[in-house]
A and B are shown apart, each in its own frame.
Chain A
Amino acid sequence: MKEELLTLASKLVEKALGEGFSEAAVKITSSRRTMVKIANSEPSVVQYWNTLNVGLYLVKDKKMLIVELEPSNIEELDKSIRELIGIADKIMESPFYAPLPKPDKKPEPIPGLVDDNIIKVLDNPVELAEAVIETAHRERIDFTAGAIDLAYTEKALATSKNVELYEDSTRIQAYLRAFAGEDGSGQWALGSRKLDRKKLEEMASIAARYAVDSRGRVDIEPGVYDIILSPMVFGNLLDLVGRMSSAFSMFMGMSMFVKNKPGDKVASEKLTLIDDARNPELPGSTSFDDEGIPTYSKPIIENGVLRTILHNSKTAAKVGAKTTGNAGWITPMPWNLIVKPGTHSLEELIGEVKKGILVTNNWYTRLQNYVEGLFSTITRDALFLIENGKITKPINKLRIADSLSRLLNNIEALGRETYDIQWWEVRIPTRLPYVLIRQIHTSKHTI
């Protein structure tokens, strides 16, 4: 549908200019998506979506309008633009206004964003569901649950600054949770542009193994521990950190970096966190942002130092910076996060811990205060006590309750093997290893 989508996007830009808007950007997304949801080791529902979404960014006299439509027919769009001009007259100039950028160069397409194998199974993912259920049951688990989510998406962008761009891509997001015995459970996830059956099976195996290994849990007292976070948990917390690196989050008082500027030390020198926009394997990759600016890879944090605040042209103009190719018309966001791996195997990380905890999964992370970075999150699934460099027993749930700043600064070592994670609690696709963090507070119910 490349030509149709591009023609429609350009036509709508022209229409907007013709009706009296001074600037316009139109982003059209067409997608086909299938998801098998699994519960009790069988499909609970198979879902399919076929949608066309039209996003309009319209400016008149520095007044900004954002419109999201799912038009039931295309003629409606013409009419709606005509009516929108009346609304633009009524609102105020936005303090966030900056002109849409005219990109210096065309983005270089990223090869390999479409995997035909995903398109092939979109219509019938039953085999994949069967495979992950079967793989998990190779371990002595009782039942499994999860989801396999496949999509083919086409995106067309046109702006009044002569931008006309198109990109299509596929992606798979999958996760599986396995349950064994009275109290054993484990969960793992995968996010990729490509279908790799081995990786899907690996995901199912890790979840199942953690379920079996975490049976027979005991209580331990909460306190200050060295903790090893799996990529699932570290990914959840870095999802927050990534969002906080957006300039918009800083303007809104929703960021721990409000008090920082690039060059400040914000983490242990062991941590390098990159917005890897053009990684062809991770599902957030794109060659251009919503303003048509070519994307590129950039460190957010490099060796513990804050390097980049993510900008679109508006937030950049507000602070005299340059766009980083992360638009969002209003909110800049990371595309993919990558953590530079370390040198340790998981066993070696465990070997570094005298008394501590291995946390394999978590959920429900909430903050008392975004600026101070005060948070807690509750662990779920396999959780293990580490004593004198060895896992000694599975333990019952605890909370990690501390500050994001201490968490980042107390990073001691990183694993060398990375995992591609995306699921409910890790929305931004993230490639990262296990991590060892010293002296983190944990808590638990008192009664």
Chain B
Amino acid sequence: MISMVDTFSHIFKVFLDLVYEDLVLYAVEYAGKLGAKYAEARYHRNSSTDIVSRNGAIIGAGYSIVEGIAVRVIVNGSLGFASTNKLTREGVKEVVEKAVTQARAHSKLMKKPIEFADARLGRAKYSVVEVKKFDSISLDEKIRMYQELWAKVSKATSEAKVQVLFTSHSEMLEQKIIANSDGAYVESRIPRLRITYNMLVFHPQKGTIQRVHIYGASGGLEWLEKWNLGEELVKEAQTYERILLTAKEPPKDEVDVVVGSEVVGLIVHESCGHPSEADRILGREAAQAGMSFIKPGMIGERIGNEHATVIDDPTIPGSYGYYLYDDEGVPARPRYLYREGIIYEHLHNRWTAKIYGTESNAAARAMNYRSEPIIRMSTTYFKPGDYSFEELIEDVKKGVYIKSYMEWNIDDVRWSQRYVGLEAYLIENGEIKGFVRNPVLEVTTRAFYSKIDAVGKELRFYAATCGKGEPAQGVPVWLGGPDLRLKGIKLGVIPT
């Protein structure tokens, strides 16, 4: 049995080499000598093995390694960052000098010096252990899995046709050594599995339905059983066929809306997680992903009713964005961003913590060695309540249940947002009554968190890649929540 990761482990050293530890420590020490008030170095290696298929045929296999050292310094109150994949003393020396020189040169434009808050920093090594290692299933078997998946999905429908099933299977490994001049030293090793797919279901008279979706988690191939793609994708194809053939327009009057956990997860990520990033609030992302409706001084203000509690927690085992120490070496913990309807805590790194007069809560993450650590979410979820799904719908006279989505967006202060249902149902007198097509939930953040009147008890998580920063960084996250119910919502439709 051979797997690609197994093969490459011989070539590229799965275990971190002492050489890199030396280079990381050298970078921190050398930056100090050059006058940096703060210095941080990170050896960061991301590898990925990918198998890409279309309609059961393997288009190709891919392997990538992104590996190098990143250096960040504060000089005269100015922040410098530089990185290289030349993993030699000379290579590292050059980028340390570059980071220090450029930070110093730009310090004359600084109105307020950049400083970091004091923090309890980690000295630790940790590793996520795969229950089923990537090499426990041979490459042949993995390929067969996608052939069989197509065999099942292509036969799932009768009147409509599954025209395209594109899949991308990625086995990833992220390894880091982080050290800084304040004493942090953290080594980590996190394997992840991700499957992305695009399904296009076509009916000659009724048009098409499309679903692009990601499964992702930290760990190994044990997730394949949990995700059970063979069964799930057949069900999806059949559902989309029925939507094409039978779905009706959503009701135009005000109705109750049961928002499915997948959509809830996205909503809390967009309208609670992002606006709670303190760097956004302070304007550091103003020209890119924008700012926040939350302004400095708004901690303690009400944003929703007592049901609205949203937590971001990097430490959930198996989560796609799992970590125990952030990239500044700060130990991770759950953060209550909204608590019972109140804006309660922001996501901080050591820079924003200093400005807020608080401690970092370990939100600094970098995508790879080419990226500076910036404030990111990990697993953001809505706190579950105590309703079963049946209880959520039983006293709805007229309503819509939106289970999944495709199109969505939110404005750049995270206030006005739109989610277009993909799998969505009409509810009448407490019962599910067939499909509705493309219902549009378009609400403000305050309206969403204030209109919740019942919260389900089953917490589910969904994977996503969250984008932010310049150059843009995509990092793995989970989003989650239970199903919940909104009272009195006017849904829209998409123009035809």
Contacts and interface: CB of A to CB of B under 8 A. Distances in A.
Given A96-B60, A366-B409, A378-B416, A48 B492 contact: no
A402 B494 CA distance: 7
A304 B94 CA distance: 52
A86 B140 CA distance: 13
B290 to A, nearest CB: 7
B62 A68 contact: yes
Interface in B191-238: 198, 200, 207-210
Interface residues of A, number: 92
Contacts of B163: 253
Interface string A117-154: 00000011010011001000000000101110100000
A297 interface: no
Interface of B: 2, 4, 7-8, 10-12, 51, 54, 57-68, 78-88, 91, 94-95, 98-99, 101-103, 105-106, 108-112, 138-140, 143, 163-164, 166, 198, 200, 207-210, 282-288, 290, 370, 372, 406-412, 416-418, 420, 422, 438, 440, 442-444, 447, 451, 470-472, 489-492, 494-495
Contacts of B64: 67-69
Interface of A: 34-52, 63-73, 76, 79-80, 83-84, 86-87, 90-92, 94-96, 123-124, 126, 129-130, 133, 143, 145-147, 149, 175-177, 179, 187, 251-254, 330, 363-372, 374-378, 380, 397, 399, 401-403, 424, 441, 443-447
Contacts of A124: 101-102, 105
Nearest to A77: B11
A83 B411 contact: no
12 contacts: A39-B282, A40-B283, A41-B111, A45-B81, A46-B81, A83-B10, A91-B58, A368-B494, A378-B410, A397-B416, A399-B409, A424-B470
Max chain B Cβ within 10 angstroms of own Cβ: one of A46, A51, A363: A46
Question: For chain A, what secondary structure do more than half of its interface residues adopt (helix, strand, loop), or is it mixed?
Answer: strand
Nearest to B412: A380
A63 B58 CA distance: 9
A300 B180 CA distance: 51
Given A48-B81, A253-B200, A447-B490, A80 B442 contact: no
Nearest to A370: B210
A235 to B, nearest CB: 16
Given A34-B102, A371-B210, A46 B80 contact: yes
B208 A371 contact: yes
A307 to B, nearest CB: 25
Nearest to A56: B63
B109 A126 contact: yes
A369 B68 CA distance: 38
A90 B447 CA distance: 54
Contacts of B282: 39-40
Given A83-B11, A91-B143, A126-B108, 19 more contacts: A35-B471, A42-B110, A45-B79, A46-B78, A48-B81, A48-B95, A65-B60, A80-B11, A87-B7, A92-B57, A94-B57, A126-B109, A177-B286, A368-B420, A369-B209, A376-B409, A380-B412, A424-B472, A443-B442
A443 B284 CA distance: 29
Contacts of A364: 409-412
A91 B62 CA distance: 11
Contacts of A37: 470
A40 B355 CA distance: 14
B287 A70 contact: no
A376 B407 contact: yes
Q: Residue among B91, B95, B164, B285 with the most chain A CB within 10 A?
A: B164
B442 A94 contact: no
Nearest to B52: A330
B416 A175 contact: no
A48 B442 contact: no
Nearest to A365: B409
B407 A91 contact: no
Contact of B284 (A44, A79, A251, A365): A44
B495 A67 contact: no
A133 B435 CA distance: 53
